[in-house]
């Protein structure tokens, strides 16, 4: 709460810095507000140097678990007044990190509500596209290997299109991480090579009957802004998380989804 | 300082929400960092509902001075660990607001360093373009009427091109505030009408011998991303402020200005 009694959203950013900004921007974009004063109170914590690399911890284990720093920073957001918090980073939601964050917060007697990006994305899928049963995921190798989205989706009865490891690496992971054409290296504008990788990946998911594709890595949102492509719904996990944070604080301020985000074009009905 | 002893930049956002984001984005953009961990620690406070409208206070005086809320929020950033703070809003730097913020902070025994957007912009102009003596300002009517940049520039010996009131309103203020084509209403992309207004304003400044134009309202940065136009240097006050915040915390991480930002094309030498 602010000193004037208003609910506050806390965003744990810094992993990376731009992902934190993107979650905050999505919160503003998805809020019904005609004036500055109608916007929702937000704190952003972006203390990047203190948070070790998430993928490096998961894959090589040669750095400390970033969970300890993240939990401490979430506690700080709570002390500043945040009522609901989310971590603007898909990889930090892997069990090896997230479970430790939750345990640390419990030990600090934290009472903050923490929203989970994967839980919220799966919930969004089921609520808005109940006819979709097969899903593709655009994500980094870390999320692919830990099956972050995949396990949860399978638990909920979805069929998940899992591309072979070489395809995942060459056309999906590298689309973000390639040092020359990757989105982390060049995002304004995204390179034509990265766009081609995305196109190839989407075609792969469409060919395998996916009805929706989850953008499970922040960088993909910078390259894809259409709600429907190649017969599939595009579900941006950052936007979903922003909407969940608004729903949990000021539901009356949540912008309605545009028609295009939920309609299914006639020629694509066979995906239902 | 963070708990691990690192300096922290505090950004007082929320007036408006996107201006806060833009200052933080500029801090990240202007930082030399190859990894997430090399980025600078930043806290953003965006408590929009508590901060009354700045222009409304200056022009109509029918709302409380936003200075009290802003000072309280700056103090909160300081308590969270911010060493240097700036307000991501040009209008809040008008004396009627800014002087009260400073006085309030003194009364709260604050020791935070507060950087002033106008001071930093004038300093930047003098350091980088010592040959420029005539300046134009793209700003809202509030900044125009309070002569926020103008007085300071004149004190420092600059000649300021002040357009007549109707021109200022029709082509500069409305470029941001028009409810249909203004940048506040449509910014992605900026409308062709707003672009035409900017072009007209720039031509006016060029015709009156300006060697530089200050973007003195956050919205103009969304429409203009060139460092040199119509023979004039374009000085984005938000980018200047971001660079000043880096200079005051981690000067070794400050990105060098690109050549294009400081060079003067040959055909424009007569402006020197």
Using one digit for the tens of pLDDT, what is the confidence trace for B69-112?
Answer: 999 999 999 999 999 999 999 999 999 999 999 999 999 999 99
- Chain B CA closest to residue A6: B49
Q: Do B25 and A24 touch (CB under 8 A)?
A: no
- CA B119-B120-B123 angle, to 5 degrees, is 85
- pLDDT, tens digit, for every residue of B137-149? 999 888 999 999 9
Which pLDDT value is given to residue B260? 56
- Spatial contact of A224 and A187, defined as CB atoms under 8 Å apart: no
Is the Cβ of B87 closer than 8 Å to some Cβ of chain A? no
ipTM of the complex: 0.92
Do B213 and B233 touch, CB atoms closer than 8 A? yes
Angle between the N-to-C axes of helices B117-128 and B148-155, in degrees from 0 to 180, rounded to the nearest 10: 50
pLDDT at A261: 60
* Mean pLDDT computed over every residue of chain B: 92
Q: DSSP letters along chain B, please?
A: --TTS---EEEE--SSHHHHHHHHHHHHHTB--SSGGGSPPEEEEE-GGGS--HHHHHHT--S--THHHHHHHHHHHHHHT-SEEEES-SGGGSHHHHHHHHHHHHHTT---EEE-HHHHHHHHHHHH-TT--EEEEE--HHHHHHTHHHHHHHHTT-EEE---HHHIIIIIIHHHH-TTTSTTT-BTTBPHHHHHHHHHHHHHHHHTT-SEEEE-SHHHHHH---SEETTEEEEEHHHHHHHHHHHTT-GGGBPPPPHHHH---GGGGGG-
pTM for this predicted structure: 0.93
What does DSSP say about strands B9-12 and B42-46: parallel, antiparallel, or unpaired? parallel
The residue behind tokens 């109509």 is: B60
Give me the pLDDT at residue A269, please: 39
pLDDT interval class at B55 (50, 70, 90): confident
Residues in Cβ contact with B180 at an 8 Å cutoff, skipping those fewer than 6 apart: none
Whether A136 contacts chain B with CB within 8 A? no
What is the per-residue pLDDT across B188-237, written as a single tens digit (0 to 9) for each? Answer: 788 999 999 999 999 999 999 999 999 999 889 888 988 999 999 999 99
Identify all chain B residues contacting A49, using CB atoms and an 8 Å cutoff: 2, 4, 6, 37-39, 41
**Which among A6, A24, A72 has the least Cβ separation from residue B3?**
A72
> What residue ranges of chain A have pLDDT lower than 50?
266-272
Chain A CB contacts of B35 below 8 Å? 53
The tens digit of pLDDT for each residue in B142-182 reads 899 999 999 999 999 999 999 999 999 999 999 998 889 99
pLDDT of residue B268: 47
* pLDDT at B271 (0 to 100): 37
Is the Cβ pair A51, B72 closer than 8 Å?
A: no
* Residue B147 to chain A, least CA–CA distance (Å): 24
Quick one: pLDDT at residue B270?
A: 41
B1-40 pLDDT, tens digit per residue, is 888 899 999 999 999 899 999 999 999 999 999 889 999 9
């Amino acid at each position: 709460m602010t000193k004037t009694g208003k609910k506050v959203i806390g965003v744990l950013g810094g992993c990376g810095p731009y992902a934190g900004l993107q979650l905050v921007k999505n919160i503003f974009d998805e809020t019904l507000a005609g004036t500055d004063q109608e916007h929702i109170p937000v704190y952003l914590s972006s203390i990047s140097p203190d948070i070790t690399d998430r993928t490096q911890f998961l894959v090589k284990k040669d750095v400390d678990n970033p969970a300890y720093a993240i939990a401490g920073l979430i506690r700080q957001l709570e002390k500043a007044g945040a009522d609901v918090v989310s971590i603007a980073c898909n990889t930090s939601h892997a069990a090896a990190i997230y479970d430790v964050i939750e345990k640390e917060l419990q030990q600090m007697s934290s009472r903050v509500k923490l929203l989970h990006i994967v839980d919220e994305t799966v919930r969004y899928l089921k609520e808005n596209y109940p006819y979709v049963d097969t899903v593709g995921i655009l994500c980094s190798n870390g999320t692919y290997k830990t099956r972050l989205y995949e396990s949860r989706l399978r638990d909920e009865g979805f069929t998940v299109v899992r591309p072979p490891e070489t395809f995942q690496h060459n056309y999906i992971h590298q689309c973000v991480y390639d040092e020359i054409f990757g989105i982390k290296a060049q995002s304004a504008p995204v390179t034509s090579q990265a766009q081609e990788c995305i196109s190839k990946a989407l075609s792969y998911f469409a060919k395998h009957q996916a009805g929706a594709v989850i953008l499970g890595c922040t960088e993909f949102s910078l390259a894809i802004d259409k709600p429907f492509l190649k017969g599939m719904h595009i579900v941006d996990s950052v936007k979903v998380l922003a909407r969940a944070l608004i729903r949990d604080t000021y539901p009356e301020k949540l912008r309605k989804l545009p028609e295009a985000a939920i309609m299914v074009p006639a020629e694509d009905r066979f995906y239902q």
